[in-house]
Chain A
């Protein structure tokens, strides 16, 4: 049954552009049902701001089902807020209490520059995938799907990694702003599968080095796993590191054979 939360204080980050100085703006929500989602609370705030003739708070969001990875938000210093394994769009107000102060910030990482208010630029993630996060298989001429048997445990492990929604919470939660969980999830998905073997080491080298060019380095804090809305395990980082080491020798051998 629904309850009403009263007297919530929101401290929302406002910043007019990438180069501008930002600041917290305080708003009080007098009353809201706990059935509302967190983003619906921001919708309500925005309706009120427009009513007052002010500009709405800019934030990224789309599917509101926890799958597209568009939403972000540091909520009280936690990426995607207090509920484990839950993206901001699936967070509901029943996780908060009357009288709470809620601090809402954008992802903070040097590789994700702030565009405006709560919106950041995550295109560095796309650069990593463009560097090798694929299996080269041009359309047409693929063999029958069942010609490539994939053992169930392998398919399941690949799927565990492939669930990544690319939201960037791992980077935002990391004290170093590292993208190792994101990169390793994609590498693990593809490197585990038989279809991914031909490009395995080239892929790993290219993706890791593109990652390093944009993001900070991993020092095994494990904050990324705790923040991940899909609860992807940091085991994938170990698998990536192992393949990267192998890549450095294998690729060298292949070059020497030329």
Chain B
């Protein structure tokens, strides 16, 4: 273990750090900005907002997405809302309170200075998005409406029906589209990031693959931003979109960027349970349903009676029983684990006994069907489309699923990775959510990074490169990386085995879910660290990719992504094994209180684990960034 990481946190009290940074950073004058080329990979909230803003400032920007259009990025699927410390309700909210709630929600495992900055710029995000025409929910007087969300005692969540992510992404996309239209941004769509090129210790550019033609090509730049999302699809089944993957972050990791806290994954408690063995993804049901739905399972294991035949006194409303003060609104990590325990104890419901009930019968009798329909109608319809069951008559069945990853590329205060000139923004970095993310904070962080952080911090780096030459794509390192990429794709296409990439992904996901999912143990993680490399060996020998490497080949694309998940899976388990404590989404069964709650070890683990690649995915090097708390004090999270 060594402490070599410089997080570059500015001086001063935590509330002044961002202002101090801005007062002292180096700037690039407007005429010089056009001399700099910046590559942005990914066009979700963080990528689209960064690309558009950097282009507005005058930088040359090239944006890359593997989608057909920037508007497809998975930020679009966020339902609930976006937090901001506007205090429009006058209910006691403030920047400090949002900062504090986020640190506490993250179980005291995030960097204070970053989180405070996030809370500060949250108010600018709402102003910016409204100016751009995002149709947030309004009250009759025309003012913005708010709702409350888990982990907060104030109403600070702004929303656009159940489609907040969609409306924010379309806002950022439209701003990006404007820049594309006027030539400020060059867009490369259906183009997948393949690798980072590092020359003389700095990021010199990237290598990409045109998904339509299969052509591998190089792009040089003064700085590169990875805004490529999280790695929740490591579990195969998750609420992420089918194409979400870790490739960009992982390839950067292999080229020298440290990967932080990979074991911090968020399992969302309210998803529709798996219904068959070839299911491709899981669908989230908004957390807001827990405002009126009551969670229960039969008291007796194996009780297969229909729910309406199970009398009240034979039901276990376990969240209300265990957490009387928060009840059905207990935070995500706690609710998820409670559901898992019920199902593991044989009390699961549904044809596969893999869910718990979320019952609206009481709400319907109290409020009437019409009110329930008004609040949740679209979610009930979606549930019925997927399951064929009508939740007005039969309780919903829910079960936790992989949803978000707090871990990601290690970045300093300026969002730069350990490779100079390479930045990571949004879910792709690790910086703001600690060991658990609060609801409605992912949209906030993506837009904060892209709109209000990167555009400031990137000039601090670029100013030092003014009128200095940087290598272009004729540098031999680019052709070397291109060759490696071509070899890799040829390798996949020529294995000639018997199993598809999806088959391997599914098997890998099962291992990671079983041993590095909601509850982890030393023995389980050791087992996974035996099984994953074995399956990876099989992947190398028995993979079958039909079709060639030239031209469009979705099976080939998948093979590359699955290979990266294999190596990431090993790191997730390694990180979970070495973090001998429970915190937030990381629950080690060995470290729990008598009541079964997470037991943190602040003395030994109040730090970020940042992993350096050694070339051997089974033997990475662990580095540590100590987390220093100047403003908040450690507390035990309690929701009893």
Contacts and interface: CB of A to CB of B under 8 A. Distances in A.
Given A92-B386, A122-B68, A193 B133 contact: yes
A134 B278 contact: no
A60 B554 CA distance: 10
A40 B386 CA distance: 12
B126 A145 contact: yes
A255 interface: no
B462 interface: no
Contacts of B137: 155
B74 A134 contact: no
A63 B281 CA distance: 9
B638 interface: no
A83 B385 contact: yes
A78 interface: no
A166 B547 CA distance: 30
Contact of B144 (A49, A137, A145): A145
Contacts of A126: 69-71, 177, 180, 189
A150 B552 CA distance: 46
A235 interface: no
Contacts of A166: 69, 71
A56 B135 contact: no
Given A50-B500, A155-B135, A142 B128 contact: yes
A149 B49 contact: no
Nearest to A52: B546
Nearest to A125: B69
A18 B304 CA distance: 54
Contact of A65 (B69, B283, B451): B283
Contacts of A51: 498, 500
A4 B74 CA distance: 32
A3 to B, nearest CB: 9
B546 A135 contact: no
Interface string B261-292: 00000000000000110111101100000000
B130 interface: yes
Given A34-B388, A133-B174, A144-B127, A193 B163 contact: no
Interface string B163-191: 10111001001110110110000000100
Contacts of A149: 138, 141-143
A10 interface: no
Given A35-B276, A193-B135, A70 B67 contact: yes
B31 interface: no
B142 A159 contact: no
Interface string A99-139: 00000000000000001100101110110011101111111
A223 interface: no
B564 interface: no
Given A50-B546, A144-B127, A196 B133 contact: yes
Nearest to A59: B554
Contacts of A86: 385
A28 interface: no
A33 B70 CA distance: 35
A152 interface: yes
Contact of A190 (B133, B177, B388): B133
Contact of A64 (B73, B281, B387): B281
Interface in B154-212: 160-161, 163, 165-167, 170, 173-175, 177-178, 180-181, 189, 212
Nearest to B124: A142
Contact of A49 (B127, B177, B455, B546): B546
Contact of A138 (B56, B276, B551): B56
A56 B546 contact: yes
Contacts of B72: 62, 68-70
A254 interface: no
B88 A58 contact: no
A134 B175 contact: yes
A133 B385 contact: no
B276 A122 contact: no
A177 to B, nearest CB: 18
Contact of A145 (B71, B130, B174, B283): B130
A58 B552 contact: yes
B503 interface: yes
A137 B88 contact: no
Nearest to A116: B552
A208 interface: no
A217 interface: no
B68 A134 contact: no
Interface string A37-63: 101100110110111011110101111
Contacts of A94: 388
B555 A50 contact: yes
Contact of A130 (B128, B138, B181, B278): B181
Interface residue tally on B, bucketed by range: 35 or more
B243 interface: yes
Contact of B503 (A35, A36, A47, A150): A47
Interface in B465-524: 498, 500, 502-503
Given A47-B503, A83-B385, A142-B124, A67 B133 contact: no
Interface in B113-135: 124, 126-133, 135
A152 B139 contact: yes
B53 interface: yes
Contact of A2 (B52, B69, B132, B351): B351
A151 B138 CA distance: 7
A203 to B, nearest CB: 11
Contact of B74 (A61, A63, A150): A63
A68 B76 contact: yes
Contacts of A70: 67-68, 72
Contacts of A190: 133
B399 to A, nearest CB: 15
Contacts of A66: 382
Nearest to A210: B181
A142 B451 CA distance: 12
A53 B163 CA distance: 41
Contacts of A60: 68
Most chain A CB neighbours (cut-off 10 Å) among B243, B388, B544: B388
Contacts of A142: 124, 127-128, 130-131
B500 A47 contact: yes
B241 interface: yes
Nearest to B178: A134
Given A47-B500, A152-B139, A136 B71 contact: no
A131 B181 CA distance: 6
Contacts of B455: 139
Interface string A158-176: 1100110110000000000
A133 B177 contact: yes
Interface in B341-375: 351
A189 B135 contact: yes
22 contacts: A35-B387, A43-B502, A46-B500, A47-B278, A61-B242, A62-B243, A63-B241, A69-B71, A70-B72, A116-B552, A121-B68, A137-B128, A137-B131, A144-B127, A145-B144, A146-B143, A150-B142, A152-B140, A152-B142, A155-B136, A163-B163, A195-B133
Given A34-B388, A55-B546, A190-B133, 17 more contacts: A2-B351, A47-B278, A50-B555, A64-B242, A67-B76, A70-B72, A121-B68, A126-B69, A138-B56, A139-B53, A139-B451, A146-B144, A152-B140, A152-B142, A158-B135, A162-B167, A189-B133
What 4 pairs between A and B have smallest CB-CB spacing?
A149-B142, A130-B181, A134-B174, A142-B131
Interface of B: 49, 52-53, 56, 67-74, 76-77, 86, 88, 124, 126-133, 135-144, 160-161, 163, 165-167, 170, 173-175, 177-178, 180-181, 189, 212, 241-243, 275-276, 278-281, 283-284, 351, 382, 385-388, 451-452, 455, 498, 500, 502-503, 544, 546-547, 551-555
Interface of A: 1-2, 17, 33-37, 39-40, 43-44, 46-47, 49-51, 53-56, 58, 60-70, 83, 86, 90, 92, 94, 115-116, 119, 121-123, 125-126, 129-131, 133-140, 142-146, 148-152, 155-156, 158-159, 162-163, 165-166, 189-190, 193, 195-196
